[in-house]
Amino acid sequence: MSWELTALLVAVGTPFAVAAAVFAIGERRHTLRGATNLAGAALTAGAVVACAVSAWQRFGGGPFAEGSIALLDIGFGLRADPLGVVFAVVAGVLWLVTTVYAIGYMSHASDRARFFGFFSICVGSAIGIALSANLLTFFVFYETLTLATYPLVAHSGTPAALRGGRTYLTYALPAGAALAVGVIWLNLIAGPVEFAAGGSLDPALASTHPGSLIVIFALLMFGLGVKAALFPVHGWLPAAMVAPAPVSSLLHAVAVVKAGVFGIARVVLEVYGPIAHELDLTPYLAALAGFTIIYGSVRALAQDDFKKRLAFSTIAQLSYITLGVALASPIAIAGGIAHLAHHAAMKITMFFTAGAVAEEVKAYRVSEFDGLGRRMPLTMGAFSLAALGIVGVPPIAGFASKWFLGIGALDAGEGAWVIAVLGVSSVLNAAYFFPIMHRAWFRAPKAEWAAGPPPGSAEGDLRMVVPILVTALIGLVLGIAAGADVSPASWALRIGMTEVPW
Partner 1 sequence: MAEWVTTHLPALVILVPLTAAPLAFLLGGTLARPIALLSALLSQPLALALAFTVSAEGGVRYEIGGWGGPLGIDLVADGLAATLILVATVVGLGVTVYAWGYFADRERYRYFWPLWLFLWASLYALFLSGDLFNLYVCLELVSMAAVALVGLSLRRDALLAAMRYMLAAILGSLFYLLGVALVYAAFGSIDIATVREAVRADVTGQAAFALMTVGLMLKTALFPLHFWLPPAHSNAPSPVSAVLSALVVKGSFYILVRMWVDVADPSFVPGSAALLGVLGASAIVWGSVQAMRQERLKMLVAYSTVAQIGYLFLLFPLVAGGGAAAADAWVGGMFHAASHALAKAAMFLAAGTVLARFGHDRIAGLGGLSRRAPVTAMAFALAGVTMMGLPPSGGFVAKWQMIRAALESGAWWWAVVVVAGGLLAAVYIFRVVALFLGREGAEGEDADVDAGRSPATMEWATLALALAALALGVLGQPLVELIGVGAPALVAGVGP
Contacts with partner 1 by CB under 8 A lie at 23, 26, 69-72, 76, 110-111, 113-114, 139-140, 143-144, 146-147, 150-151, 154-155, 157-159, 162, 165-166, 169, 173-174, 176-177, 180-181, 184-185, 187-188
Query: Taking the complex as a whole, how short is the minimal distance between the CB of residue 35 and partner 1, in angstroms?
Result: 21
Closest to partner 1 by CB, 173 or 393: 173
Closest to partner 1 by CB, 93 or 153: 153
> What's at 478, amino acid-wise?
L
Residue 126 gets the label, from left (phi > 0), alpha (psi -120 to 50) or beta, of alpha
Query: Taking the complex as a whole, how short is the minimal distance between the CB of residue 164 and partner 1, in angstroms?
Result: 11
Query: Taking the complex as a whole, how short is the minimal distance between the CB of residue 17 and partner 1, in angstroms?
Result: 14
Q: How far apart are CA 309 and CA 367, in angstroms?
A: 12
Query: Taking the complex as a whole, how short is the minimal distance between the CB of residue 140 and partner 1, in angstroms?
Result: 4
453 CB-contact burial (10 Å; exposed 0-12 / middle 13-18 / buried 19+)? middle
- Direct distance between the N- and C-terminal alpha carbons of the chain, in angstroms, rounded to an integer: 36
Query: Taking the complex as a whole, how short is the minimal distance between the CB of residue 494 and partner 1, in angstroms?
Result: 32
Q: How far apart are CA 327 and CA 66, in angstroms?
A: 29
What DSSP designation does 241 have? G
Q: How far apart are CA 256 and CA 239, in angstroms?
A: 14
Query: Taking the complex as a whole, how short is the minimal distance between the CB of residue 34 and partner 1, in angstroms?
Result: 19
Closest to partner 1 by CB, 123 or 344: 123
Closest to partner 1 by CB, 158 or 367: 158
Closest to partner 1 by CB, 146 or 379: 146
CA distances from 15 to 116, 141, 234, 316 (A): 10, 13, 28, 30
Closest to partner 1 by CB, 151 or 398: 151
Query: Taking the complex as a whole, how short is the minimal distance between the CB of residue 244 and partner 1, in angstroms?
Result: 13
Closest to partner 1 by CB, 53 or 184: 184
Residue 500 gets the label, from left (phi > 0), alpha (psi -120 to 50) or beta, of beta
What DSSP designation does 457 have? S
Closest to partner 1 by CB, 116 or 404: 116
What DSSP designation does 76 have? E
Q: How far apart are CA 38 and CA 430, in angstroms?
A: 36
Residue 192 gets the label, from left (phi > 0), alpha (psi -120 to 50) or beta, of beta
Query: Taking the complex as a whole, how short is the minimal distance between the CB of residue 184 and partner 1, in angstroms?
Result: 5
